[in-house]
C-alpha cells in the first residue's frame, strides 16, 4: 500500500476552478487547466502555466480533455501497479476523445455563464460506472501489468470504486472527486 496525493478536475481558467498547490510528489490527473472553457484572452497565459506544470511534475502531469491536447489521447502515469489516467478515454468513445483533443481553445463570456449553469446541474447527478467503462479500465490495467486504475473526469462528490474481474484477474477502479485527494492504494 502506498499513499498518493492526486489533483484532478481543478479547471484553472474556468468559472468553477478549485485551488491547487504545487506539491513535490503529487499526481496531476487531468483537467488541471481548462483551455476549452477559459476566456479567449487567457489562453496564452494558461498554456504557459501548463508548460510550467509539465516541467515541475514531468510524467506525473496527465492531460485531460479540457487541456485540449493531443497528448490527452494516450496520457497516463504508472507507479507500483497503479495506473493513473484522467478518465475521459475510459468513459467516452474514441471519436469523442479525438474531437476534444482538437477542440477550439477559449470561449466568450456568454458561453462561460451557460456552461457554469450546466455544471451545477451535473453535480446533482449520482455517478455510476457503466460496464463499458469498467471493461476499458480492466483492459488498460491488464495491458500495463497493473491491478488498480485511478481516474478523475466524472466530477463525483466522493470516491466511486468498483472491482471488475475478467479471465480470473481482478482490477480495482477508482474515480476520484474534483480537487485534492489523498488516497492509499
Query: pLDDT digits over 100-113, tens only?
Result: 888 889 877 666 56
**What pLDDT, on the 0 to 100 scale, is given for residue 114?**
66
Confidence of residue 129 (pLDDT cuts 50, 70, 90): confident
Q: Is the pTM of this model over 0.85?
A: yes
- Under a CB-based contact definition with an 8 Å cutoff, are residues 36 and 107 in contact? yes
Could you report the per-residue pLDDT of 131-159, keeping only the tens digit for each?
Answer: 899 999 999 999 999 999 999 999 888 89
Size of the chain, expressed as the number of residues it contains: 185
Closest CA to 22 of 45, 51, 53, 66: 53
- Neighbouring CB atoms inside 10 A of 110's CB total 8
* Percent residues over pLDDT 70 in the chain: 90
Amino acid at each position: 500500500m502506498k499513499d498518493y496525493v492526486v489533483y484532478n478536475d481543478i479547471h484553472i481558467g474556468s468559472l468553477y476552478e478549485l485551488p491547487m498547490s504545487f506539491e513535490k510528489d503529487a499526481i496531476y490527473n487531468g483537467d488541471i487547466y481548462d483551455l476549452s472553457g477559459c476566456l479567449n484572452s487567457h489562453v496564452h497565459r494558461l498554456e504557459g502555466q501548463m508548460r510550467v506544470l509539465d516541467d515541475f511534475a514531468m510524467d506525473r502531469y496527465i492531460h485531460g480533455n479540457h487541456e485540449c491536447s493531443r497528448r490527452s489521447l494516450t496520457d497516463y502515469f504508472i507507479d507500483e501497479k497503479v495506473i493513473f489516467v484522467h478518465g475521459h478515454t475510459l468513459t467516452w468513445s474514441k471519436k469523442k476523445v479525438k474531437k476534444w483533443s482538437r477542440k477550439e481553445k477559449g470561449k466568450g463570456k456568454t458561453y462561460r455563464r451557460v456552461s457554469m449553469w450546466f455544471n451545477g446541474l451535473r453535480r446533482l447527478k449520482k455517478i455510476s460506472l457503466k460496464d463499458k467503462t469498467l471493461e476499458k479500465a480492466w483492459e488498460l490495467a491488464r495491458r500495463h501489468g497493473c491491478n488498480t486504475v485511478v481516474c478523475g473526469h466524472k466530477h463525483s462528490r466522493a470516491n466511486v470504486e468498483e472491482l471488475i474481474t475478467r479471465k480470473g484477474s481482478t482490477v480495482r477502479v477508482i474515480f476520484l472527486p474534483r480537487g485534492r485527494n489523498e488516497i492509499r492504494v
